[in-house]
Structure 1
Amino acid sequence: MNPTFVFRSLAAASLGAFLLTACDSTPRERQEIVREEARKLDTAASRAAAKLRVAGRRAARFDSVSRARTRQPLDEAASATFTSQLLGTYADVEKLTPTTIEPAFVQFMQQVRAKRRAWTQRDWDYATAISRRLNAQFRAIRLDIKGRDELHIRALQTEFTTLETSRDVKDLGQAMKKP
């Protein structure tokens, strides 16, 4: 539950209880009601702060693990295998031409869509490296690519980024739930 919502709900309930009892109570009794409601608010705020601290630590741990993973160089053999699996006949990225780059992006994204659910974060690292190579080749030959093909490639690039980001968000969410 949202800590701000809890705090506001308790504050509204406290104010309502105070106003209803104000007419039928003495100042000393109202003072005690205010103290009790303040204790309740303080307890709710403390619980919310504790939950936020835990979530912050988990997010920091996830970030630390991700940074450590990305600092590790990719294995050349595994990278070549991954490239071959995702690009098939288009695996020699640096030799792609203006007529073959669009089908290479299509092949890449078909494989990403098919395999992404079973991938680990490290698998995504390999796929991202391949995507970067494809994007570099695209930039190198972009001026010779037909406009229709360029638009399709840009849509595929956006789709890849979306899939990768959604996996990161999913993994972060799972990391936040773990004890």
Structure 2
Amino acid sequence: MKSATPFPLSLAPVAGLSFVCLFLLSGCDTTPRERQEIVRQEARKLDTLADRAGDRIDRASDRAGDYTASARARNRQPLDPAAEATFATELLGTYAAIGQLTPQTIEPAYTQLLRQTRAKRRQWTQRDWDYATSIYRRLNDRLKAVRLDVVGRDELRIRGLQAEFVAMEAGRDIKDLGQAVKE
């Protein structure tokens, strides 16, 4: 079946089509020198747009770099053991003695950690997340020590809770990076 249009439809979405049409239509009514000036003006407009876009990308890149540098500096600062113990008590409650967790109590400890993380994560700073992540890692280390004695269904629940914690932490990092780039 033949197309009713003289041009193939694949050319319709080409960027700058309106400029080409304007140029072709005005080509009969203008001199080559006038057309040359029109092309120069349009090229200047495109250059200006490209410069502005490049400046925005540069600013966003600088802000992302600043965010990364501040995150690295924060990560180099050691966590305060007393504050970490307080945070562990707040997040884990009766399971705060991570080194004493058994195969039967490890899953409830993860459940408690996630319950508290869900409730408090929106008001946490990045430093609070550092403490929570440290506690999460210690819990993971304890899981490695007792894993062979953990019931299969508990281990499956723990894996789901671990995935949720990592997702919440990554979401916060992405949100903070987005805000840093936007500002």
TM-score scaled by structure 2? Answer: 0.88
For residues 14 and 67 of structure 1, the distance between their equivalents in structure 2, rounded to whole angstroms, comes to 49
Aligned position for 1:165: 170
Aligned position for 1:95: 100
* Equivalent in 140, 152, 157 of residue 157 of structure 2: 152
2:47 maps to 1:62: no
Aligned position for 2:142: 137
Aligned position for 1:40: 45
Instruction: Give the count of matched residue pairs.
Output: 171
* Equivalent in 106, 114, 133 of residue 111 of structure 2: 106
Q: Compared with structure 1, are the counterparts of its residues 116 and 32 closer, same or farther at alpha carbon in structure 2 (3 Å cutoff)?
A: same
> CA-to-partner distance for each residue in 1:6-47, whole Å, 9 max, x for gaps?
xx9974443343233223322222211111100000000000
For residues 50 and 9 of structure 1, the distance between their equivalents in structure 2, rounded to whole angstroms, comes to 26
Aligned position for 1:19: 24
Structure 2 gaps of 5+ residues are 1-12
Structure 1 gaps of 5+ residues are 1-7
For residues 114 and 127 of structure 1, the distance between their equivalents in structure 2, rounded to whole angstroms, comes to 13
Q: Is contact 1:62–1:175 with CA below 8 Å preserved after alignment?
A: yes
Query: Sequence identity, in percent?
Result: 60
Please tell me the residue identity of whatever aligns with 1:65: S
Aligned position for 2:4: none
Matched residue SS, 1:97: coil
For residues 16 and 66 of structure 1, the distance between their equivalents in structure 2, rounded to whole angstroms, comes to 51
Aligned position for 1:127: 132
Please tell me the residue identity of whatever aligns with 1:161: V
Please tell me the residue identity of whatever aligns with 1:106: T
- 1:173, CA displacement in angstroms? 1.2
Judge which range, 58-67 or 19-28, deviates more. Answer: 19-28
Aligned position for 1:52: 57
Q: Compared with structure 1, are the counterparts of its residues 74 and 9 closer, same or farther at alpha carbon in structure 2 (3 Å cutoff)?
A: farther
Q: Is contact 1:10–1:41 with CA below 8 Å preserved after alignment?
A: no
Please tell me the residue identity of whatever aligns with 2:172: R
For residues 122 and 20 of structure 1, the distance between their equivalents in structure 2, rounded to whole angstroms, comes to 63
Matched residue SS, 1:142: helix
TM-score scaled by structure 1? Answer: 0.90
For residues 115 and 151 of structure 2, the distance between their equivalents in structure 1, rounded to whole angstroms, comes to 21
- 1:102, CA displacement in angstroms? 0.3
For residues 46 and 116 of structure 2, the distance between their equivalents in structure 1, rounded to whole angstroms, comes to 53
For residues 144 and 27 of structure 2, the distance between their equivalents in structure 1, rounded to whole angstroms, comes to 73
> CA-to-partner distance for each residue in 1:77-106, whole Å, 9 max, x for gaps?
100000000001111111111111000000
Where does structure 1 differ by over 4 angstroms across 4 or more consecutive aligned residues?
Answer: none
